[in-house]
């Protein structure tokens, strides 16, 4: 992924991710996350959350809406520790059959959309040595 042209997505000093341009000209938004940032819905471990089907990646609503306005159809997460790539159609984040919404604005956060891990296509170690 590092060799592809990209446009960083920031809010203030915080780096959220980047929009990558693929060789075919299409674009994909990747949020930068660590494995420990997988939403666990109160479960003690990621493994437990995965077994119970509640493990999810979250992306803030504003970022998703901005990407949709740009015409981006695929979004995902680039796990910085493992270089794993998790991809999903952007529309699934807005479909209540698949996603959930949680509002953290009262605690200084943002409105977040959560999509379960099972809705993503995972590609392991996308970095090239």
Lowest mean pLDDT among 45-54, 101-110, 119-128: 101-110
Closest CA to 78 of 104, 102, 57: 57
Tokens of 73: 């159809």
Q: How far apart are CA 129 and CA 117, in angstroms?
A: 26
What is the DSSP secondary-structure string of 39-107? B-TT-SSHHHHHHTT--EEEEEHHHHHHHHHTT--EEEEEETTT--EEEEEHHHHT-TTT-EEEE-GGG
Residue 84 scores a pLDDT above 50: yes
List, for residues 7-40, the tens digit of each pLDDT value.
Answer: 999 988 889 999 999 999 999 999 999 999 999 9
Decide: 5 and 23 in contact? Cβ < 8 Å: no
Asked whether residue 114 carries a pLDDT value surpassing 70, the answer given is yes
Per-residue pLDDT at 129: 41
Question: Residue 35 carries which DSSP code?
Answer: G
CA 112 to chain centre: 11
Report CA 1 to chain centroid distance, whole Å.
15
């Amino acid at each position: 992924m590092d060799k592809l042209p990209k446009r960083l997505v920031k809010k203030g000093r915080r780096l959220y991710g980047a929009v990558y341009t693929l060789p075919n000209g299409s674009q994909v938004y990747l949020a930068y996350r660590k494995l420990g940032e997988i939403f666990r819905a109160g479960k003690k471990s990621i493994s437990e959350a995965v077994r119970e089907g509640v493990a999810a990646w979250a992306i803030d609503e504003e970022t998703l809406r901005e990407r949709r306005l740009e015409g981006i159809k695929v979004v995902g997460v680039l796990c910085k520790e493992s270089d794993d790539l998790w991809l999903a159609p952007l529309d699934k984040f807005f479909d209540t059959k698949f996603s959930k919404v949680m509002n953290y604005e009262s605690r200084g956060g943002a409105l977040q959309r959560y999509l379960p891990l099972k809705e993503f296509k995972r590609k392991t170690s996308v970095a090239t040595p």
